[in-house]
Amino acid sequence: MAERIKITYATLRNDNEELHAQYDAGISKARARLGAYHPNWIGGRERDGDGTFELRSPIDRKIVVGTFARGTRADVRDAVGAARAAHPAWRATPWRDRLALLRRTAEIISERHMEYGALMGFEVGKSRLEALGEAEEAADLLRYYSDVFERNNGYVVPMGNLGDAAVHTRSTLRPFGVFAVISPFNFPMALAAGPAGAALMAGNTVVFKPATASALSGVLLAESFRAAGLPDGVFNLVMGPGDTVGQEIQENPGVDGIVFTGSYEVGMGLFRTFSRQWPKPCIVEMGGKNPAIVTARADLDEAAEGIMRSAFGFGGQKCSANSRVYVERPVHDELVRLLVQKTEKLAIGDPLLRETWLGPIIDERAVGRYEAAVAEARRDGRVFIGGERLGDGGLERGFFVEPTVVGGLPAGHRLFQDELFVPFTAVHAVDSLEEALRLANDSTYGLTAGVYSEDPAEVDRFLDEIEAGVLYVNRRAGATTGAWPGVQPFGGWKGSGSTGKAGLSLYYPAQFLREQSHTIVD
């Protein structure tokens, strides 16, 4: 068996011959799994739904990724019941034993990451390097959160004593019960494995709903937990639409906490309504409209490279995508020239191929958002590059569009405010860093932000004044994107997140626990 290659977003290189050979073998395995039927998984048993739904690849609509059981409200109720029934035994399982199962799950994902990455490529259109990075990130989230839990000794901490030797006090963190996890299509394994894993290691049981567009990745996570030996009912999978499966999860009184990653509108609606009888944990991550600031003292080639990578990686379908740029006027034209030059060189096409940098966007609705944004930019400003749907050279059966850079728009234009989730970024000239910071902060969102400047005072001001949870300085690899468990905590301020604590960080697992004080007299 070939030695497993350690994958991270930062270390992936397209000239790694062994990696590509292993990935090509993963594609062969993945092709053999396409088109299969996948049931829900409730209480340790397969469960059909109310009919099925079919997923076709955004690369080529003739490719059937699979058919999936369409879950119902009754399926969710049964999954919650199974999770509640399994909770007492899982809660009583020593935390070290829970961690062992989750670490075993991480190893299984890593062992299968070439196959899982290829399936992700078929399902959501990620390039091979992006897909491999995510599959390994899912595994590393389980490893890192396990390490955090262990370093904190299962969150049991001796407390002080007022002088009576017979009295012993401690603080302990205890699970809530049943957590629901609703994951997005854009990081279908990492943003499912992370919250589900943290909930499980804390002693909660889980009901999991993947995004309909990435149901197969949800199935792969469930099969990894099963292969690791997770007890029946501890992790339950219900697939289906948000207006039935998602709504029942939101309304079911047996759900004690919820994690949602998705749009601001849905997330805020969930945050406002989830708690009824008493407050319940509601962890929502709601995207971003992420700015990059380029001052006159920046390395412009570095800035253009970082902006291009963050604006167009995975078609701009990242909550951290760099979708707006504020650049000081003296260097505006040169930055745009370099950004256009770099964008022109991007290889667009089948993401399963080694040479492809940018694959399709997820569906026809995304194409519609793209075309509407381009039309507005042409009406109100200028398109520097891009703006077209691609339909030649074998791309006509997929959802391929050109990466697009626009400018000349008023600072308050919708295209600087609304999250689009397509490969589209808008550039605006400013007269000062002060103006750039003011415009950057004038947003509902506050997820990520980046700055390019060789002036330490400007960098310090950016770090001090920008209203976002994840910051990058002079980063060629990505102006506003790129995070790894235990390296860059990832969480938003304002309308980008609800708890003030980031994923991928040491604070994340504790959010799935509540504190209890024990005072014991001998």
- Which residue among 115, 123, 137, 285 is the active-site one? 285
- Show the tokens assigned to 161: 């004593």
Measured in degrees and rounded to the nearest 5, phi and psi for residue 503 equal: -75, 170
CA distances from 74 to 64, 195, 247, 353, 505 (A): 28, 24, 12, 42, 36
Give the residue ranges of DSSP H helices in 381-453.
433-441
Among 106, 110, 126, CA closest to 118: 126
Query: From the centroid of its chain, how far is CA 192?
Result: 8
Across the chain, how many H-helices and E-strands are there? 14, 24
Among 55, 33, 76, CA closest to 188: 55
- Which residue among 282, 319, 402, 458 is the active-site one? 319
- Show the tokens assigned to 4: 């497993």
CA distances from 212 to 53, 123, 282, 302, 402 (A): 9, 11, 21, 38, 25
319 catalytic residue (yes or no): yes
Q: Cβ contacts of residue 513 below 8 Å, gap of 6+? A: 155, 173, 174, 175, 176, 202, 203
46 catalytic residue (yes or no): no
Among 318, 250, 326, 323, CA closest to 287: 318
Contact yes or no for 259/422 (Cβ under 8 A)? no
Cα–Cα distance for residue pair 504/152, rounded to 1 Å: 16
Cα–Cα distance for residue pair 100/148, rounded to 1 Å: 14
SS3 168: strand
> Active-site residues: which are they?
285, 319
